[in-house]
Structure 1
Amino acid sequence: MPPKNDPELIALRKELEELYNTLKEEQKKVADTSLEKICEDVSDVPRVKINTKKLMKGHLNKVNSVHYSGDSRHCVTGSLDGKLIIWDTYSGNKMQIIPLRSAWVMSVAYATSGNFVACGGMDNMCTVYDLNNRDTSGVAKMVRELAGYDGFLSSCRFLDDKHIITGSGDMKLCQWDLETGRKLCDVIAHNGDVVSISLGPDGSNMFVTGSVDKTSRLWDVRDLKQPKQTFFGHEADVNSVCFHPSGNAFATGSEDKSARMFDIRADQQIALFKPPTPNSAFTCCALSLSGRVLMCGSDDHSVHMWDTLKNQHNGTLSGHENRITSISVAPNGIAIATCSWDQNVRVWG
């Protein structure tokens, strides 16, 4: 890699910055309105009182990731205590505890079918467990170790029971065949660590990624050679992305203390969300089933909520005692699960 003061590199960076500014100017020309402006006549969203329905304790260290199963009842969490826990969110009981070979778990995923969970992190691999098959000790059987990354595994999502997509700290996006363990696709996806993946709604072949390169990108699983669109706007790492239920937009949460909404058809940002006192970064984001409410977990120990159409900050969910690391909305829309460095998992409804 050439040194930072290399004249050619400096010239290329300058050219890239100029291209980026030209793009922004062109986008401004066609941005005839904003989401907030066009929804002025829409009535305010009813105030919904959301409380902690279940406080689930069991992890002995920071909990870094949570993800719901397709049944909207079970969720999986991964913690630095080296355990995955499968929870019944209705009762708050632990259904399975899966010990990991590496404690440095950063991301977990639950297959929609409820048959498999996956995790990965600083061990530079994605490990898949079959929840319906147990080994002699009664623990879910490990069925795949997907190795071949030059950086940590930051995110993973099941496309179905046979395929998974992973993002990693080596800037790559990979698609895997779980039956053979073969890598189907391996592409440099961003100019920095890929940190978040969100799949489009059922029937959609699209998904979106967020990166420390300050951009988010739209992809089609049928053709992963290059992104379909790249979205600019954030001024720091894009820590989290979340597809809108309509399939036409997505939300982002960033280190720059803002959340944003991007419209795929308009190819640009249509809304900017900031809390009343923007004093900490957003680590994760999620949208309600209707897409009307945006929720962002923050370093300030709370979940901030906005009415996406009116751009109104509708309060916070408080209860966690440390940084919130991950948020997952139940597919049926009736509950939200959050996890935190306070070692706890909360189910809100």
Structure 2
Amino acid sequence: MVKDDAETTALKKELDDLIKKCQEDQKKQQDVTMEDACSAAADAPKIKLAMKKSLKGHINKVNSVHYAGDSRHCVTGSLDGKLIIWDSWTANKVQVIPLRSAWVMTVAFAPSGNFVACGGMDNMCTVYDVNNRDSSGCAKMTRELLGYEGFLSSCRFLEDNKLITGSGDMKICIWDLEANKKTTEFNGHAGDVVSISLSPDGNSYLTGSVDRTCKLWDFREEKARQTFFGHEADVNSVCFHPSGQSFVTASEDKTARLWDLRSDQQLATFTPPNSNPGFTSCGLSLSGRFIFCGCDDNAIHVWDTLKIQHNTVLNGHENRVTSLSVAPNGMALASCSWDQSVRIWV
């Protein structure tokens, strides 16, 4: 046992040394920093997002929120054992869907608005048809995707009949919902896969993990095209830049970061000026100029990604902000929290 511990420590040190060397080699190739390259750019105006709607209906912690493709409807999942589909323009509930398990951790809305999916500590992904009601009047459950050896931590629709998931068993799976079968399954990380972001062109995706790394994947391959090191704790959230050439991450190590795919390295680190919270979620404005980060300090922090300047703080939640989603048209931001509320910022 002592020998095994010593070997593990030696291997960890060897890996850390190798990562450090790679980062040093990357720095040597930098001809300019992000701050210097953007020094001539005008400062962005202060963001003036205001909370326009407070969506109330959940009676326990809300863990996840995701917009539909129409930028109007969103779905939320809570530990009260309910999915709620909202009209974010009117703050009305469109549907309330009771779940078999209350331990929901992730939700997803199909871009078409026809389906929602969720999963969590029940170790499965459940899909509902929004336009088809069962005998109780709720959205009809169409699929229960089984076979996970750990909790379901992330899911996203590729199209109405295709879904990708990440889970606590370290696996990435792609499902054909029409055939009700798994078409792809492989170990993606050395820890729980907790976040997935799809590229704007639909050809690739990003994953974040508790193994402190984020990876870029091609849908046609089961081997990561790029692996990004640098975070010192769980990578809780990843989000593609609208350009498809970069992405942002939010981590338990109390930093958010901007990465570039072409140079294969980190461009910037974001930390709040007057607090030191852990980051739970992240999103980008439609232009990519602003990054939004949900935090443990009950707030959403906003930075200018070009100037790497803290821009503003969105206050309103009364507990940890667990998830956020930027509307596809860029006109609104939805956030949810352990304070049991969902808020729409415009």
Superposition TM-score tier, normalisation by shorter sequence: over 0.9
Aligned counterpart, 1:243: 240
Gaps of 5+ in 2: none
Aligned counterpart, 2:220: 222
Matched, 1:277 2:260: no
Structure 1 position 69, deviation (Å)? 0.1
Aligned counterpart, 2:69: 70
> Distance in 1 between the 2:6 and 2:335 partners?
47
Over the aligned positions, Cα root-mean-square deviation in angstroms equals 1.2
Pairs within 5 Å for 1:4-23: 5-23=4-22
Aligned counterpart, 1:212: 210
Deviates more, 1:26-35 or 1:302-311: 26-35
Asked if 1 retains the 8 angstrom alpha-carbon contact of 2:47 and 2:312, the reply is no
Identity over the aligned pairs, expressed in percent? 65
Structure 1 position 33, deviation (Å)? 1.8
- Alpha carbons of 1:15 and 1:318: their partners in 2 closer, same or farther (altered >3 Å)? same
> Distance in 1 between the 2:161 and 2:3 partners?
43
Asked if 2 retains the 8 angstrom alpha-carbon contact of 1:105 and 1:121, the reply is yes
Name the count of aligned residue pairs.
Answer: 346
Structure 1 position 297, deviation (Å)? 0.4
Kindly report structure 1 stretches of 4+ aligned residues shifted beyond 2 Å.
Answer: 2-15
Aligned counterpart, 1:301: 298
Q: Which amino acid aligns with 1:200?
A: S
TM-score, normalised by the number of residues in structure 1: 0.97
Aligned counterpart, 1:329: 326
> Distance in 1 between the 2:181 and 2:202 partners?
24
> Distance in 1 between the 2:294 and 2:7 partners?
41
> Distance in 2 between the 1:278 and 1:218 partners?
31
Secondary structure class of the residue paired with 1:29:
helix
Aligned counterpart, 1:339: 336
Aligned counterpart, 1:268: 265
> Distance in 1 between the 2:310 and 2:240 partners?
20
Structure 1 position 262, deviation (Å)? 0.3
Secondary structure class of the residue paired with 2:263:
coil
Secondary structure class of the residue paired with 1:103:
coil
Secondary structure class of the residue paired with 2:293:
strand
Aligned counterpart, 2:167: 168
> Distance in 1 between the 2:34 and 2:17 partners?
28
Asked if 2 retains the 8 angstrom alpha-carbon contact of 1:288 and 1:329, the reply is yes
> Distance in 2 between the 1:327 and 1:197 partners?
14
Matched, 1:348 2:345: yes
Structure 1 position 278, deviation (Å)? 3.8
Aligned counterpart, 2:158: 159
Deviates more, 1:283-292 or 1:17-26: 17-26
Secondary structure class of the residue paired with 1:64:
strand
Deviates more, 1:259-268 or 1:273-282: 273-282
Task: For residues 300-323 of structure 1, give each alpha carbon's deviation from its aligned partner in whole angstroms, at most 9, with x where no partner exists.
Answer: 000000000001101100000000
Secondary structure class of the residue paired with 1:256:
coil
Asked if 1 retains the 8 angstrom alpha-carbon contact of 2:47 and 2:311, the reply is no
Secondary structure class of the residue paired with 1:11:
helix
> Distance in 1 between the 2:300 and 2:56 partners?
19
Task: For residues 113-158 of structure 1, give each alpha carbon's deviation from its aligned partner in whole angstroms, at most 9, with x where no partner exists.
Answer: 0000000000000000010111111110101101111110000000
Secondary structure class of the residue paired with 1:27:
helix
> Distance in 2 between the 1:74 and 1:341 partners?
21
- Alpha carbons of 1:4 and 1:334: their partners in 2 closer, same or farther (altered >3 Å)? farther
Aligned counterpart, 2:125: 126
> Distance in 1 between the 2:196 and 2:220 partners?
16
Q: Which amino acid aligns with 2:130?
A: L
Secondary structure class of the residue paired with 2:26:
helix
Structure 1 position 162, deviation (Å)? 1.1
Asked if 2 retains the 8 angstrom alpha-carbon contact of 1:204 and 1:247, the reply is no
Task: For residues 214-236 of structure 1, give each alpha carbon's deviation from its aligned partner in whole angstroms, at most 9, with x where no partner exists.
Answer: 1100011122x111100011111
Structure 1 position 37, deviation (Å)? 1.5
Structure 1 position 3, deviation (Å)? 7.2
TM-score, normalised by the number of residues in structure 2: 0.98
> Distance in 1 between the 2:293 and 2:317 partners?
14
Aligned counterpart, 1:40: 39
Aligned counterpart, 2:182: 183
Asked if 1 retains the 8 angstrom alpha-carbon contact of 2:74 and 2:109, the reply is yes
Asked if 2 retains the 8 angstrom alpha-carbon contact of 1:324 and 1:341, the reply is yes
Structure 1 position 192, deviation (Å)? 0.8
Secondary structure class of the residue paired with 2:21:
helix
Deviates more, 1:339-348 or 1:180-189: 180-189
Pairs within 5 Å for 1:1-150: 5-150=4-149
Asked if 1 retains the 8 angstrom alpha-carbon contact of 2:46 and 2:312, the reply is no
Deviates more, 1:185-194 or 1:81-90: 185-194
Structure 1 position 4, deviation (Å)? 8.1
> Distance in 2 between the 1:97 and 1:4 partners?
55
Structure 1 position 181, deviation (Å)? 1.5
Structure 1 position 40, deviation (Å)? 0.6
Q: Which amino acid aligns with 2:82?
A: K
Structure 1 position 32, deviation (Å)? 2.0
